[in-house]
Structure 1
């Protein structure tokens, strides 16, 4: 074996060893888990947690990744948004816990800045148990964000099945989201959107149609009458009851016969119990019939 051959063999062995070593080192980098995440929290290693949260570093499971996101949020403190860009703010919000209003508000501000209004309306403004979504919209508008104009654009581009078309597992996003949006509009006196809301909600899912009824009632929207009439044919008695309640508020003579038919024929009943003199008394009631009977009377008085 000459010197050149020996040299080439040595070089080959060196690179083989180097490659093997790199492979071993790579294999030794374990995916993040609860233990490593808690260790990062204890040393306040935000960089590590963010890499796990955004997927740069592998997590052992989706729950570990979510845990890293939650711990990062808590470590940074409420109200401090994740370091998000317009490209990833939606995903980062979706992955994070939403325990603090200030955090939700800061992420919503970023979404508005980036023009992600559809996601904001459909998946963010439902947050809270005390109409915080309405407050959030007001705060964004107070910062100069064109929230109402963007909602009008949303109505124009999301009609029928596209109107608040979120998956069934997130129906509360629709129920409370539209409740907060319509409350915000009513509170600020924006009652001029009857036609646009009615057009967009026509053909939408039942949760969305039910959720705009309060706007029709408070804004006295005649455009909402056909949608309220549709509720009279729904399977759930609560929806039929709501239909008559709304028609009692905004209905006219054109719907009187339909309301009277439901008042006379709806067979749904339930039992109301109340305690009197130490005894429980049960009374059979017909909530749909009663609501429609009351609506019929109100419509007649307006004729």
Structure 2
């Protein structure tokens, strides 16, 4: 199983990508040992250093754990949070990609999508259908956060700023995805944005109906000049959110399968009932 000579990526990235796909598709189950270093060298016809770098990548992503004298194993899903980006990239290796997101803004998703979308534009990833749904809070009404420290008073200027940031990131993501169809690189690409009257205190991603990532937004107290006035307020910190990963398996009664199923059910029911499109100015 030698590497693709037409792939311009370094050999260690090709090996890590192949192993990542095997892990995320369940070829190697949680807790299962992956092939040894010498076996991977023979399989991919690469040097020892190449395999070592590939395994380093997977360890950094939280997909495997190496036990001295025993080898490398697929990390149990509950052992440690994992990164979003490699799972998104793996999803783009299929023909159809669906991503559902609910949270304060789509800033993290926008950033994590950059590399997979770049690879679609360069022809290294070739999905044919991309569908993204963004479920964001309605900032036109009173929210739990952002809120002034002083007696937890509502502040329309803070809400307006938060709404503008959310719409900016969502708009950027919408353009980056939908332009792929305009360029003829995919058959269809669509980003839908809806809002609901609730405060976003957590974020949720559901990828291809098979994986779910969930994380709580930590809160922090901060000061900032907004509309010419210094304000002290409580706000969420999206960049500090720890994401926990759940993956569906052939066993529908497993924790991962049930979590993904219920996450998708929550998203769909909210999207189809109390979520609405924001009127354009």
Same fold by TM-score, threshold 0.5 exceeded?
Answer: no
Normalised-by-shorter TM-score class? under 0.3
TM-score, with length taken from structure 2: 0.24
Q: When you count helix as a share of all residues, which structure comes out higher?
A: 1
- If asked which structure has higher relative contact order (CA below 8 Å, sep 6+), I would say 2
Q: When you count strand as a share of all residues, which structure comes out higher?
A: 2
